[in-house]
Amino acid sequence: MTGDMSAVVAQLLELRERLAATAVIAMRAKADAEHGHDQYAEAARGTTHPRLQQAMADMRIVGDKSARIARLLNKARDHVTAYLNRIAPGAVRDGGSHAGAMPTGEQLLADAERRANAKASVGSFLRRAVKNVENIQDSTKTATELGETGVKILRSPSGPKGAQSTSTTTPSSATTVSRPKMDVPEAAAQIAVLGIMTAVAIHKTSQVLGRTIARWRNR
Amino acid sequence: MNAQTELTALIRALAKRDWEAVDGLLEELRKKEWAGATQVIGAAFVLAVHRRFRRGQDLRDISNFVAETRSRYEGGNELPALAMEGMIRAALGEVDLMDEINPDNYLPAQIVILGTILQDENLTDDQLDEFVRDVEEAAAEYM
**Tens digits of per-residue pLDDT, A88-139?**
888 886 543 333 445 566 676 777 778 878 888 899 999 999 999 988 766 7
**How far is the C-alpha of A71 from the C-alpha of A154, rounded, in Å?**
40
CB B14 within 8 A of CB B2: no
Name every chain A residue with its beta carbon within 8 A of the beta carbon of B65: 167-169
Q: What range defines the domain where residue B14 resides?
A: 4-140
User: Which of A125, A152, A186 to probe the B interface (max B CBs under 10 A)?
Assistant: A125
Interface residue B39 vs chain A (CB under 8 A) = yes
Provide the domain count of chain B.
1
> How far is it, in rounded angstroms, from Cα A86 to Cα A165?
45
Residue A173 has pLDDT above 70, yes or no: no
CA distances from B58 to A74, B10, B64, B140 (A): 27, 31, 10, 31
Average pLDDT over residues A39-65: 80
To 5 degrees, how large is the angle CA A196–CA A200–CA A206? 145
Point out the least confidently predicted range of A5-14, A102-111, A167-176. A167-176
pLDDT of residue A99: 38
Cβ–Cβ below 8 Å for B73 and A171: no
Contact A143 B74 (CB under 8 A): no
Asked if residue B11 has pLDDT above 90, the reply is yes
The ipTM (two decimal places) reads: 0.94
Is the pLDDT at B26 greater than 70? The verdict is yes
CA distance A8 to chain B (A): 35
Cβ pair B73:A161 closer than 8 A: no
Report the gap between the CA of A75 and the closest CA in chain B (Å).
23
Phi/psi at A94 (5° precision): -100, 170
A chain contacts of residue B46, beta-carbon cutoff 8 Å: 118, 121-122, 125-126
Please report which confidence band the pLDDT of residue B16 belongs to, taking 50, 70 and 90 as the band edges: very high
Among the listed ranges A43-52, A137-146, A189-198, B114-123, which one has the minimum average pLDDT value? A189-198
Query: In this complex, which of A118, A126, A141 lies closest to B39 when CB atoms are compared?
Result: A126
Residue B86: its pLDDT value, please?
Answer: 96
Residue B73 phi, psi dihedral angles, 5° rounding = -120, 145
In 3D space, the residue among A51, A9, A2, A1 whose CA is nearest the CA of residue A209 turns out to be: A9
Question: What would the mean pLDDT of B22-30 be, rounded to a whole number?
Answer: 96
Mutate to test the interface with B, among A153, A166, A186 (most CBs of B within 10 A): A153
A111 vs B116: which has the higher pLDDT: B116
- Across chain A, mean pLDDT equals 72
The packing angle between helices A105-135 and B125-140, to 10°, is 50
Of A37-46, A62-71, B115-124, give the range with the top mean pLDDT.
B115-124
| Per-residue model confidence (pLDDT) at position A100 | 41
**pLDDT attached to residue A137:** 66
Number of A:B CB contacts under 8 A? 175
Q: Do B130 and A127 touch (CB under 8 A)?
A: no
H-run or E-run covering A29: helix A3-43
Find all residues with CB under 8 Å of B28, minimum gap 6, and list them: B3, B6
pLDDT score, position B32: 95
Among residues B127, B123, B118, the alpha carbon closest in space to that of B52 is found at B118
The pLDDT confidence band at residue A166, using thresholds 50, 70 and 90, is: very low
Contacts of A142 in chain B (CB under 8 A): 33-34
Mean pLDDT for all residues in chain B:
94
Closest residue to B79, CB basis, from A115, A147, A153? A153
Residue of A nearest to B105 (CA): A146
Q: What span, in angstroms and rounded, lies between the C-alpha atoms of B83 and A132?
A: 14
User: Where residue A39 falls among pLDDT bands split at 50, 70, 90?
Assistant: confident
pLDDT at A194: 56
Whether residue A176 and residue B51 make contact (CB cut-off 8 A), yes or no, is yes
**pLDDT of A57 strictly over 90:** no
* Mutation for testing the B interface, residue in A35, A117, A122 having most B CBs under 10 Å: A122
pLDDT for residue B128:
95
Lowest mean pLDDT among A40-54, A83-97, A148-162, B31-45: A83-97
Residue B38 has pLDDT above 50, yes or no: yes
Residue B19 has pLDDT above 80, yes or no: yes
Alpha helices in B16-105 (DSSP H): 19-32, 37-52, 59-72, 81-91
Q: What percent of chain A has pLDDT over 90?
A: 12
Assess contact for A178 and B93: CB atoms under 8 A. Answer: no
A212 versus A82: the higher-pLDDT residue is: A82
Distance from CA of A150 to the nearest CA of B (A): 4
- Taking only the tens place, the pLDDT of each residue in B40-64 is 999 999 999 999 998 888 899 999 9
- Give, for A47, the enclosing helix (H) or strand (E): none
